[in-house]
Amino acid sequence: MRICITGASRGIGLGLARSWAAAGHEVIGTHRGIAPDVSAIRWVEVALDRPESLAALARALEPEPLDLLVCNAGVFPDKGHGLESGLGPEIWHEAFSINVTGAFLSLRAALPALRRARSDRGFARVAMISSIMASSARAPGGSYAYRASKAALTNLARNLATDLEPEAIAVGAYHPGWVRTDMGGPDADIDLSEAVAGLVARIEALSPRTTGCFESHDGAPIAF
């Protein structure tokens, strides 16, 4: 497969990139200025909060087909902030410009390459890395900007699944688990290898038959 992963320079994105590269797939990863020293991955500098930089991603994907786009890049700018502090408009702007708008613009930049894969190989895949924190059925409070942006991302994934189904491009949203990364922190439930293995299995199972799914890394469906 030819795979593109946004936000691949650390954490879950880097774990996914390393896993698929080790399995022999061609992997293109985006970074924001410092690319890891991983020669098996082709690195492209892209800042999702600067829409003009998405042109670099579109150029990097030409002229070959793209089998899988993983919209992984994301931020948690309100982590640790309460209702009455630290939730100014700049926090909301950052959360939505990267977690939602950035994912949509990445999809749009990759769409010609995904369509080439559909034509050549039957169907293509798009995976949106969301969170169980996007679920309205699970609302323990707090983390308002992050939760709202991930809910918007999951809604985006499900609507894209509807619109792209006639083109044989399957779209799924996935919760990686609470993972011990810089974002998840040291007290999280699972380690990176477990999250990556689960996500790889779930994403590789995505097909036109399962498009529109919202699942955990362990395959459990999540109520939206």
- Residues marked active site are found at 146
Q: Which residues contact 193 (CB under 8 A, 6 or more apart)?
A: 15
- b/e burial code for range 25-61 (CB count within 10 A of at least 16 → b): ebbbbbbbeebeebeebebbebbbbeeebbeebbebb
Q: Which two tokens stand for residue 125?
A: 């895949």
Alpha carbon distance 95, 145 (integer Å): 6
| DSSP structure class, residue 36 | -
Q: Which two tokens stand for residue 23?
A: 């399995």
- Cα 28-71-224 angle, rounded to 5 deg: 160
β-partners of residue 127 are 70, 172
What is the chain's percent helix, strand, coil content, to nearest 5?
45, 15, 40
Residue 60 Cα distances to 27, 33, 141, angstroms: 11, 16, 40
Q: Which two tokens stand for residue 207?
A: 């097909």
